[in-house]
Chain A
Amino acid sequence: MSAIRLQQVSKAWAEVHAVADVSFTAQAGQFVTLLGPSGCGKSTTLRLIAGLETPTSGSVHLFDRDVTHQTPAQRHLSMVFQSYALFPHLDVAQNILFGLKVRGVGAAECALRLQRTAELLGLGALLHRKPAQLSGGQQQRVALGRAIIAETPVCLMDEPLSNLDAQLRQEMRQELRALQRQLGITMVYVTHDQTEAMSMADQVILMHAGRIEQNATPAELYAQPATVFAARFIGTPPMNVVALPEHAPAGVLLGVRPEAIRLASDTGHAAQVLAVEYLGADSLLTCRIGAAQLNARVPGHHANAVGATVRLVWHAEDEHFFDAASGHRLTQPPRQHVEMVR
């Protein structure tokens, strides 16, 4: 059963289209990530699901129930905000129990669920502290506790880890994913960080300028980017998308991931090294082939390579082709290229 279904949802303020014609489905128990740069409409999409915004057109369905015009309370879902949105005058226990109290759940039931939630998140010792007395990571846990104690089938998260330091973020990534599996929640997770999206999600919805650019599994998004935007957004560093006359005819762009490029001694393209960035296990070489500029991620340290001429090679199956005009992926390699390989 689909837990969340959006049908041609648009949201516009005056002349600005924040979300345009977005449709997707999330199955029950799935971890779905809305990924994209800032201003792409991912947060607005999440708020449309939550009911904090009403769509200009289109409809939102939760478990095959049309909730487009229902209030957030009627939709019965939970949400973790980027700023956590903890109530500053309530202590941790009161914050977590807020939803149960306003919905009139009995005291015994509240105590039981609070104990279970506090245990699950390791908040037992902090229950009587005020939010101001907690660290960022602890506040994040309280916000998470408030979301999961409601035991709602759908949980929405708006960049919940963006205010944490790098190490805590990595720990929380794994913890969130484990928690989501354990509780069987359908999770919609907004992030601008592709690492979060790729490592946590079952399904990544990549958005750009209010539209869905690609809706795929992380592996598919990496291996088969549907557009130039998707190709250039995913990967560290992202894919090289260049016009290279020897490989692609006019009007077709060639895409090669930096990690697919190797250095060769006799064959391949002659390229001039413009810059070298040392990353530890490997180095990032910025090279120029004719007018095109490419990044190559190659093992080792190449400190003295700047200005030198190197030879770059890659496998034919690592090549991606895009239509230069529309930016869409071409499923068939262009004919001229096939002939050249022969």
Chain B
Amino acid sequence: MTNNARQHIHAWLLLLPAAVLLAAFTHYPAVATIWHSFFSTPKGARAAVWVGLDNYLTLIEDPVFWQVLVNNVWFALGTIPLSIVLAFVMALWVNGKIVGRGFLRMAFFTPTVLPMIAVANIWLFFYTPGYGLLEQFTVGFLGLPSHNWLGSQSTALISLMVVTIWKEAGFFMIFYLAALQAIPPVLAEAAAIEGASRTQYLLRVVIPLLMPTTLFVLVNAVINAFRLVDHIVVMTRGGPDNASALLLYYIYDVGFKFWDSAYAATLTVVLLILLGLAALFQFLVLERRTHYQ
């Protein structure tokens, strides 16, 4: 056996464990999902039969699907820009020379470290009508009328968005902080000598240099916005009247409560397509405007 061939075999053997896991738990399920979306749901003695695009036609006529899709788009638009801007501002703040910045950094990062279920329970208490923390302030201190934040159609989704922003911003801040610290301080000095103000330095040097980070954070934020499920399970279960249901939660409902696995597979394919398109747009369009060091 030649040396070259042996090298190839070694390389493949080393990659094998990861490849097997990826294939078994990512690639096969993805392909199987697409395959199942063209079949009916097997029930009892009735095996699954080929139904072609029937599941997709059902989907187009399903009002709940359109509602959760719109909910999800609003959820993404409401949480992503705000959490990114917040993360950037917090990173700038804790990157400065201020007293207690170690404590601040830890405080900002804490929401990310906490388990999602625990976070959701804490916020559940905040939002509780009557004696929740929010009500104690709005009703007890400001004297506003009581409001069921999670229980009314108009505010359920927004309440969930606030929790998500609170949780995501700290996580993204870490990436911005790392990127800020990778910028050589001498660039700030050069800009200062050239007569740039702090704002000009920020706009002309810092933000362009952080574009790779922003792209990375954006991809992550979009993925997170479409795969959020744990907060909803704990806080609203999609209610009231699907007002706070998002795509993945609907898939969970269809798949594991109604046991309509074929339709759940169809919804999953839609989710995959959406995420694929988002990634494609970000890498093709934003990539060109991004400088990598």
User: Which of B193, B197, B291, B293 is A50 in contact with, Cβ under 8 Å?
Assistant: B193
Main secondary structure of the interface of B (DSSP, over half): helix
Q: Which residue of B lies closest to A132 (CB)?
A: B293
Bound form: Cα–Cα A98–B192 in Å? 11
**Interface hits, B161-220 → A, CB 8 Å:** 184, 186-187, 189-197, 200, 204-205, 208-209, 211
Q: Is A315 an interface position by the 8 A CB rule?
A: no
Bound form: Cα–Cα A85–B183 in Å? 11
Main secondary structure of the interface of A (DSSP, over half): loop
What residues of chain A lie closer than 8 Å to B204, measured between beta carbons? 87, 98, 101-102
User: Which of A83, A89, A98, A130 is B194 in contact with, Cβ under 8 Å?
Assistant: A98
Minimum CB–CB distance for A228 against chain B, Å: 35
Contacts A52-B189, A81-B189; is A73 near B184 (CB within 8 Å)?
Answer: no
Asked whether B192 lies within 8 Å of A89 as measured between CB atoms, the reply is no
Bound form: Cα–Cα A85–B197 in Å? 17
User: Which of B196, B197, B291 is A98 in contact with, Cβ under 8 Å?
Assistant: B196
Asked whether A73 lies within 8 Å of B209 as measured between CB atoms, the reply is no
Q: Is A190 an interface position by the 8 A CB rule?
A: no
What residues of chain A lie closer than 8 Å to B189, measured between beta carbons? 50, 52, 72, 79, 81, 85
Asked whether A85 lies within 8 Å of B192 as measured between CB atoms, the reply is no
Asked whether A87 lies within 8 Å of B195 as measured between CB atoms, the reply is no
What's the A-B contact tally at a CB cutoff of 8 Å? 69
Minimum CB–CB distance for A7 against chain B, Å: 22
What residues of chain A lie closer than 8 Å to B197, measured between beta carbons? 73, 102
Q: Is A78 an interface position by the 8 A CB rule?
A: yes
Q: Is A56 an interface position by the 8 A CB rule?
A: no
Contacts A98-B196, A98-B204, A99-B195; is A79 near B291 (CB within 8 Å)?
Answer: no
> Hey, what's the 0/1 contact readout for B272-293 against A, CB within 8 Å counting as 1?
0000000000000000000101
Asked whether A87 lies within 8 Å of B192 as measured between CB atoms, the reply is no
Minimum CB–CB distance for A82 against chain B, Å: 8
Q: Is A334 an interface position by the 8 A CB rule?
A: no
Asked whether A89 lies within 8 Å of B291 as measured between CB atoms, the reply is yes
What residues of chain A lie closer than 8 Å to B196, measured between beta carbons? 73, 98-99, 102
What residues of chain B lie closer than 8 Å to A57, measured between beta carbons? none
Contacts A79-B190, A98-B204, A102-B200; is A85 near B195 (CB within 8 Å)?
Answer: no
Residue ranges of A at the interface with B (Cβ–Cβ < 8 Å): 50-52, 71-73, 76-79, 81, 83, 85, 87-89, 98-99, 101-103, 130, 132, 146, 150
The 5 closest A-B pairs by CB, nearest first: A99-B194, A89-B291, A85-B190, A73-B195, A102-B196
